[in-house]
Structure 1
Amino acid sequence: MAYSSTIPTLPLDLLEEILYRTPAESLVRAKWTCKEWNGLINKKRFIYEHLRRSPERFLRVDQTVQVLDLVNRTRSDSPIPDELQPSLSNIIAMVHCDGLMLCIWSDKECYMFHNLALWNPLTRHFNVVEPRLSRESQRFLINDHFGIGYDVNKPRGDYKILMFSASHYGQAVVEIYECMSKSWRTLDDSKVNWEVYTSRQSASRNGVSVMGNMYWLVKKKTRNYILCFDFSVETFKEICFFRDLPYDNNYLGCFEGDKLSLLQQNEDQPSPIEVWVSSKLADGNVSFTRYFSVASPDLPALRFFTYWGYPAHCIIAKHKRIVTWYDRVSVGLILCEIDEGGVSNQFVTPQHYWDDCVIGTFFCGYVYKPSLVPLP
């Protein structure tokens, strides 16, 4: 009783500091402790500051929604949204932004048609995004690509979803979905003549959302670029050119909150692994430099077969280290660290396969931050 009667009498700044250090999962329960806590935890300022301070985790959808704490190496499981239940093996991609996941999955009946939704795994809210009724098919199609972000010049929380579809002739359809008004609009005079790497469960298909903008690895004729969509000015930008990409698997990610990382590995010959990082995205002239590489005979192939789901990974700048969570049939889901010295701290987590088959390998891992950001 002393605990419950003492905590609410703390100075507000001290109480805030304690709650900032509290995991988001605990805040969901804590906000019902009293009106003062509920009011504080629901404030937009508090929600986004707590998000900024929160460490990254890994998320994976199999027979449950699995969130892996990278520090404590503990995993929590929660139910899968009802809307995803019939089509678990057809999940195409997810994009993370502020604790929200933009989910793209194909119809159970026809892989040519896709579905779109915005999901907060922590609060378990799930909103399906319907396509524009004026579209000829009135469906999202296999060649449609998606991203999520926001205008950095406006109050945080006014999220937008991008949909673009390119053809080999350079003609494109580019549309923006305003999450607050739940309405689509077409961008005028928009042309897209890039080819986004689009093999099933491609590591590059997802793209990555960083500081309100979307980034993809794309090919234009024979050249490779990092393509950006700036949600503030609603335009595409080619921000960086790669002369060649000699590796089979290229994993684009966020690095230190304001940069990009690119992890590269050959599928058949897993050694070496190379990690490249960009300069600050806000600086304008973005360039990549090789951060470090690992050459060791014990390096695992993070994606053992092309049709398998790609691994979750993040780059730890302080120690030049890769933390990854990847799949091995008959072994389990393996969490390990990889640095210039090789592989260390391996830890096997259980996997949930349907009927002991390998369908679970189709499910990808994603970097994720649990947050109290409400669905718009």
Structure 2
Amino acid sequence: MANKEKLPWVLVEEILTRVPPTSLVRLKAVCKRWNTLFNDKTFIKNHKKTFQFVLTTRSKIYSVSVSPKLEVSVLTIDTPGRLKSQILVRLVDSSGFLLCGMDKGAVVWNPWLSQTRCIEPEVNTPLHLNFLGIGYDNNRRVDEIVYKTLLVYNMDSDSTWKIHEFASDAWKDEEQEKAKYTTSTTSSSTTRGFIRVMYHFSGVVSLNGTLYLLANYAETHLTYRLLFILVKFNFSSEEFSPFCDLPCGKNHLRDALVLRVFREDQFSLLKQCYVTKKVEVWVTTNKIDDQYGRDVKWTSFMEVSIPNMPDLVEIKSYAQPSYFLDDDKRLVICSCDETGRAWIYVVGENKLISKVQLDSVVDPWPFHCTYFPSLVQIPGGKREAAESRIKLPYMDEEVILSL
């Protein structure tokens, strides 16, 4: 049938947005154009099964989609091995995965593909491990990315840092001195020597294999004025180092201060003043390169003063809000009120556009994080038999779409 008409590409895209995510992984082999499409963040964002937040309670896990309308769905996680009965104590969006910290380990989870992998600590490792994030060695020029997880326990001056490597399932202890650094401040060339840094573990983000987190330190030994900076952990050198200054700091314990990745290769920073409830958002003007933090510039993206704006930092545990900036330049926030009930707030044009309580999230004080689905498969994780065994030969697009 040489004269067979092909479907318009717009229609092909619309059909594929309705295909289950687990099938999309297999369909990457159909042709280069489909493979490129499935790697497009816009395609995933427009998929009918996409979502932007994940919330976990003692009884259930939920996904929340806010576009085109707010929808709440229940997710199921197959917790492997000895972690099946563990309590979740931390939830981190990192490198396209969800890192679910448990009492005695962690589960790496891709909820879109229903894949999980267990990370169990070494024997005699203390309890209450803090799994910070997932990254990789971005200096290796190899085809396969080697993912690693960074965690810390005994979070004080004697904190011990550990790295877990996915490929070998091996652990490595970091020297305590690597949690400190010798630095010239990012706004001055004056060498300060070793300075003690207070890390903010609630807002770690991963970008191109490197972890970034907020930190502060005292300006001098004689003052309590704190300077806030962005610190990076490079999995290639396996050490912390200062990255750049921040456009603001915290003036009160209950000020919100949250870092997010913006437009895939930039940063955004949200602050809410606890006293005035004023919300400010900054974004970086250039792409983030982990080698050139001193060149990072911030610009104001949004400044909102709303009389009835709620307090975004949770009163129970001082947990920070989760948020993202959508294409319409609106700020979308997930947070809990003073009773522990979860809400979604949409802010724009100096006003609170909408606020919706998530009534279906029945348990109070859920853990929550921003999460955009990913087709990145977990290395060494559980896969559906069809995904791991079936190799699709090249097939015509029209044949696939007609099945």
Question: Is the 8 Å Cα contact of residues 160 and 175 (structure 2) preserved in structure 1?
Answer: no
Question: Is the 8 Å Cα contact of residues 136 and 146 (structure 2) preserved in structure 1?
Answer: yes
SS at structure 1 position matched to 2:315: coil
Question: Is the 8 Å Cα contact of residues 79 and 116 (structure 2) preserved in structure 1?
Answer: no
Q: Distance in 1 between matches of 2:34 and 2:167?
A: 15
- Aligned counterpart, 1:178: 165
Unaligned runs of 5+ in 2: 46-50, 181-196, 219-225, 380-403
Q: Residue 168 and residue 337 in structure 1: after superposition, are their counterparts in 2 closer, same or farther (change >3 A)?
A: closer
Question: Is the 8 Å Cα contact of residues 149 and 161 (structure 1) preserved in structure 2?
Answer: yes
Question: Is the 8 Å Cα contact of residues 277 and 291 (structure 1) preserved in structure 2?
Answer: yes
| Amino acid paired to 2:362 | Y
- Corresponding residue to 1:295 among 296, 302, 305: 305
SS at structure 1 position matched to 2:179: coil
Q: Which has the higher helix share?
A: 1
Report the CA distance between 1:149 and its aligned residue. Answer: 1.0
- Corresponding residue to 1:284 among 251, 273, 293: 293
Question: Is the 8 Å Cα contact of residues 335 and 344 (structure 2) preserved in structure 1?
Answer: yes
Report the CA distance between 1:183 and its aligned residue. Answer: 1.5
- Corresponding residue to 1:212 among 209, 212, 226: 209
1:266 aligns with 2:253: no
- Corresponding residue to 2:136 among 150, 153, 171: 150
Report the CA distance between 1:331 and its aligned residue. Answer: 9.7
- Corresponding residue to 1:369 among 369, 372, 386: 372
Question: Is the 8 Å Cα contact of residues 207 and 265 (structure 2) preserved in structure 1?
Answer: yes
- Corresponding residue to 2:233 among 207, 229, 236: 229
Q: Distance in 2 between matches of 1:155 and 1:15?
A: 32
Report the CA distance between 1:20 and its aligned residue. Answer: 9.5
SS at structure 1 position matched to 2:264: coil
Q: Distance in 1 between matches of 2:319 and 2:156?
A: 27
- Aligned counterpart, 2:394: none
Segments of 4+ moved more than 6 angstroms: 41-44
Q: Distance in 1 between matches of 2:334 and 2:377?
A: 28
Q: Alignment length, in residue pairs?
A: 335
Q: Residue 159 and residue 331 in structure 1: after superposition, are their counterparts in 2 closer, same or farther (change >3 A)?
A: closer
Task: String of CA shifts for 1:235-262, please: whole Å, max 9, x gaps.
Answer: 3221123474224221121111112222
- Corresponding residue to 2:22 among 18, 28, 38: 28
SS at structure 1 position matched to 2:202: coil
Q: Distance in 1 between matches of 2:235 and 2:42?
A: 20
- Aligned counterpart, 1:245: 250
- Aligned counterpart, 1:191: 178
Unaligned runs of 5+ in 1: 1-8, 107-113, 198-203, 355-359
Q: Distance in 1 between matches of 2:92 and 2:260?
A: 13
SS at structure 2 position matched to 1:18: helix
Q: Distance in 1 between matches of 2:217 and 2:358?
A: 40
Report the CA distance between 1:92 and its aligned residue. Answer: 2.6
Q: Residue 179 and residue 304 in structure 1: after superposition, are their counterparts in 2 closer, same or farther (change >3 A)?
A: closer
Equivalent residue runs for 1:1-376 within 5 Å = 18=13, 22=17, 26-29=20-23, 37=27, 39-40=29-30, 49-51=39-41, 53-55=43-45, 57-62=52-57, 63-72=59-68, 73-82=70-79, 86-88=85-87, 90-98=88-96, 100-106=97-103, 114-133=104-123, 137-139=124-126, 141-142=128-129, 144=130, 146-152=132-138, 153-155=141-143, 157-164=145-152, 169=157, 173-187=160-174, 190-193=177-180, 194-197=197-200, 204-221=201-218, 222-242=226-246, 244-247=249-252, 248-267=255-274, 269=275, 271-279=277-285, 280-282=287-289, 283-285=292-294, 286-307=296-317, 309-316=319-326, 318-328=327-337, 333-354=342-363, 360-361=364-365, 363-376=366-379
Q: Looking at CA atoms only, which structure, 1 or 2, has the larger radius of gyration?
A: 2
Q: Distance in 2 between matches of 1:237 and 1:19?
A: 45
Report the CA distance between 1:308 and its aligned residue. Answer: 6.2
TM-score (norm: length of structure 2)? 0.70
Q: Residue 331 and residue 192 in structure 1: after superposition, are their counterparts in 2 closer, same or farther (change >3 A)?
A: closer
Question: Is the 8 Å Cα contact of residues 299 and 343 (structure 1) preserved in structure 2?
Answer: yes
